[in-house]
Amino acid sequence: MFTGIVEELGTVAALENRGKGARLTVRCSVVREDLREGASIAVNGVCLTATDLRSEGFSADLAPETLERSNLGALRPGSRVNLERPLSPVGRLSGHIVQGHVDGTGEFLSLARLEDENWWLTVRVPAELDRYLVYKGSIAIDGISLTIARLESDVLSVAIIPHTYRSTTLESCRRGDRVNLECDVLAKHVEKLLHKLELTKSAKVDRLTAESCEGDISTLP
């Protein structure tokens, strides 16, 4: 589990095609300090398994599903990536619960500077994710824990403080770029629970209707 608080900006050293998948190699220092072979690491919000550890970084294998659902396949040598290690048992949950299971990608529209040195980020989101988005709710964009400040049709907006702007990949994003989106896991669980309750209710109504019809038939002369 992650929190969406980026610890370091890494640099892509290589992205090699391997069959239908790929192998990503990242140069970094801070997150490398206590990283172990086989440990989880979030790269642009995608939970990967660190392998081939070296003093200057690590590698991670990308499955076809990862390449299809995230923006990692568009990375090139020199690309910057947001890095975060998993939350430790004694760590603080400074952002929100982020699983590293990206739901899809959105389209980066703009990042406008405001008068107070903050920034205003707008992203177009896929229609299938709309049901998980709420005003003032949490969302992870390229692994960054952010709060939704505005929702208009298929576009969401969030405020970006100077620290987040300086410490993440947002500064280098350009219009049309794909950004990874992970909706709040709590919203997903609530939707699943409500769906099950609706199915249970529907089944109960059908059963009562059937019993009522059987009762009507049995009373016929």
**Which one from 13, 22, 28, 47 is the annotated catalytic residue?**
47
Cα atoms found within 13 Å of the Cα of residue 191, Cβ hemisphere only: 13
Q: Which residue in the list 49, 94, 209, 212 is annotated as catalytic?
A: 49
147 flagged as catalytic:
yes
Catalytic residue list contains 47 = yes
Marked catalytic residue, from 11, 14, 39, 40: 40
Q: Which one is catalytic: 147, 172, 209, 212?
A: 147
39 is catalytic: no
Q: Which residues contact 162 (CB under 8 A, 6 or more apart)?
A: 117, 118, 119
Long-range contacts of 135-140 (CB under 8 A, 24+ apart): 137/184, 137/187, 138/4, 138/95, 138/96, 138/184, 139/181, 139/182, 139/183, 139/184, 140/4, 140/45, 140/96, 140/98, 140/180, 140/181, 140/182
Q: Is 50 a catalytic residue?
A: no
* Catalytic residue chosen out of the listed positions 29, 74, 94, 101: 101
Q: Are 72 and 65 in contact (CB under 8 A)?
A: no
Catalytically active residues, by annotation: 2, 40, 47, 49, 63, 101, 147
